[in-house]
Amino acid sequence: MTYDLFIGDRLFSSWSMRGWLMLEKFDLPYRTHMIGLYSGTMAEDIKPLAPARLVPALRLPDGTVVGESLAMAETLAERHPEAGLWPKDPSARATARWLCAEMVAGFSTLRGECPMQLKQCWQGYKPSSETLNDLERIETLWHHARDVSGSTTGPLFGTYSLADVFYTPVAARIIGYGLPVSDVNRQYCLDLLSDPTVRQWRAMGLTVNYAAFPYPQDLSSRPWPVGGRTDASAVSGTNSINSACPYSGKPVTHVLELNERLWGFCNAFCRDKTVADPEAWPKFTAMVADVNDS
């Protein structure tokens, strides 16, 4: 039983990130299909999913198409009660649903003025009063979630849930634009963005080059705070320490250099996502550790 998930560009599609985290974080089987949001092919790419018109979209194993993130979340939670997408406690579960529903319906100024981008952190951004109002409301909801759950740090309801999925792109906006929130909530944002799964999503997004970077700002920037710097670089040739790709096990065709050593992969995507953030990939780091220990 494998789902088909249709997503847009990883660096910028906040809703696609939510759809992917629903499946990836809860170990549900899926295949990913890209929809060209910025290549001009979106209308044609999404035709087979009609009447769905936005990403993400989910095709169930029986062929049923589910559009809209909240409908996808409820469908997956219903089909996989053992996965724990919602909190177990009834009060926490009801509150988590409330937070997700308000995320879907609200915060339009924050979303409009601060489009998600995962490449860098803008410096000196000045939010409008309406965006500040959205941030105040978000902090109120997060505080309420912790009152209900009793959790003071980490996931809002003690264990990771769909509430954390839905607010991860909000965390990216807060960090990416340097928006004002309490120290506790800034740490929550960094915790969400430090998750290896989120780091992998960002690293895959960085494999795409854009002739004109979407959502530019006339501001200086600093590196992304988690995995924002890398000492790895793509190099030519096929000579490497390893003979098989750490992800697929297939023969090496592309190589990166890290700490004066060459490591091989089965295609450019595997190599480039690793160049973007080497420490985000457990199979790669395990391979490096094995060689270092031998």
| Domains of the chain, start order | 3-83 (3.40.30.10), 90-199 (1.20.1050.10), 230-293 (no CATH)
Res 292: pLDDT = 87
Considering only CA atoms, give the Rg of the chain. 20
Burial class (CB in 10 A: 0-12, 13-18, 19+), 92: buried
At residue 218, the pLDDT reads 96
Please confirm whether the linkage preceding 225 is cis (ω < 30° from 0).
no
CB 266 within 8 A of CB 240: no
pLDDT in tens, the chain (294 residues): 899 999 999 999 999 999 999 999 999 999 999 999 988 899 999 999 999 999 999 999 999 999 999 999 999 999 999 999 999 999 999 999 999 999 999 999 999 999 999 999 999 999 999 999 999 999 999 999 999 999 999 999 999 999 999 999 999 999 999 999 999 999 999 999 999 999 999 999 999 999 888 999 999 999 999 998 889 999 999 999 999 999 999 999 999 999 999 999 999 999 999 999 999 999 999 999 999 887
| Residue-level pLDDT at 126 | 98
DSSP symbol at 67: E
Q: Are strands 57-59 and 65-67 parallel, antiparallel or unpaired?
A: antiparallel
Cα 88 from chain centre = 24
Q: Hey, what are 31's tokens?
A: 């295949």
Distances, alpha carbon 28 to alpha carbons 5, 93, 256, in Å: 11, 20, 31
Cα separation, 154 vs 185, in Å, equals: 10
Kindly report the backbone phi and psi dihedral angles of residue 255, in degrees, each rounded to the nearest multiple of 5, phi listed first: -135, 145
- Reading the block at residue 278, the tokens are 């080497």
User: Order of strands across the sheet with 65-67?
Assistant: 30-34, 3-7, 57-59, 65-67
Residue 235 CA to residue 233 CA, distance in Å, equals 6
Q: Is 223 helix (H, G, I), strand (E, B) or coil?
A: strand
Q: How far apart are CA 70 and CA 162, in angstroms?
A: 10
State the pLDDT at residue 230.
86
The pLDDT score that the predictor gives to residue 293 is 83
Collapsing DSSP to helix, strand or coil, 255 comes out as: strand
